[in-house]
Chain A
């Protein structure tokens, strides 16, 4: 009777399967975490630019809102890591005394976007928010 030592084929295959599952899961987790961190970083940068632009458009006289260029007036250096990006402003007038100003930043070939809206009401005053 021969005395054999070592693992059987089934044992080796099961071991390899477990190892593959563990390694694949680790790699997927690693890449997913990395992707989400990058997206969070991009979103934070985009919202800084958006809130800066809101501060400016809040101060523009109601009557002059339509006459503004549909681009960002603030410095967008913070968005440099998202290059190429597109920053746009849209003014809607749902009612004569109300305007809806929407600021949008698009990046990653238009696949990602962040937007912020403010509602402006005609109060008759100047420099109000």
Chain B
């Protein structure tokens, strides 16, 4: 009696066909995902540290009375933002946002010339500060950040509210 071992040709063909179909589905899905990855910037707003930075910036800029040109060795640039903002107590403080260190945001608050708080956010994108003038003549602050593929991921305009 002849004893057969192994698979028949039909079994191998059917198995490869089924495997091939799944492979095609996975390749199509992966290709579509890669295409979208290239098209869309990273969603930094899903990152709690980035949201915290944006929330603090918004609050400080909304309550800003003026922008000092320089303070304590810092000066206004696309990597440093200086502002004189109102605290909840009603008194003012000078706040310096320092974006010069890659992946970090430093917020230093000064009571007169005394450093009163120093807050750091890490693991954040590289922010840039830009001035933005409205047709009404008011000066806004424009905060932008790009992802590793140089795509604009954050672009926010903040304007101080009227205080007087």
Contact = CB atoms under 8 A, between A and B. Distances in A.
A75 B36 contact: no
Interface in A90-117: none
Contacts of A48: 154-156
Q: Sorted from nearest, which 10 A-B pairs have the closest CB atoms?
A: A78-B155, A52-B157, A59-B136, A41-B43, A44-B45, A41-B40, A55-B157, A81-B40, A55-B159, A81-B39
Contact of B136 (A31, A40, A127): A127
A81 B151 contact: yes
12 contacts: A31-B29, A38-B40, A48-B156, A52-B155, A55-B159, A56-B135, A56-B157, A58-B159, A74-B157, A78-B152, A81-B41, A129-B161
A109 to B, nearest CB: 16
Given A31-B29, A78-B155, A59 B134 contact: yes
A55 B33 CA distance: 34
A23 B22 contact: yes
B154 A55 contact: no
Interface residues on B, range: 20 to 34
A27 interface: yes
A80 interface: yes
Interface of A: 23, 27, 30-31, 34, 37-38, 40-42, 44-45, 48-49, 51-52, 55-56, 58-61, 73-75, 77-78, 80-81, 127-129
A90 to B, nearest CB: 19
A73 to B, nearest CB: 7
A55 B140 contact: yes
Contacts of B46: 40, 44
A118 B29 CA distance: 41
Contact of A55 (B36, B39, B40, B158): B158
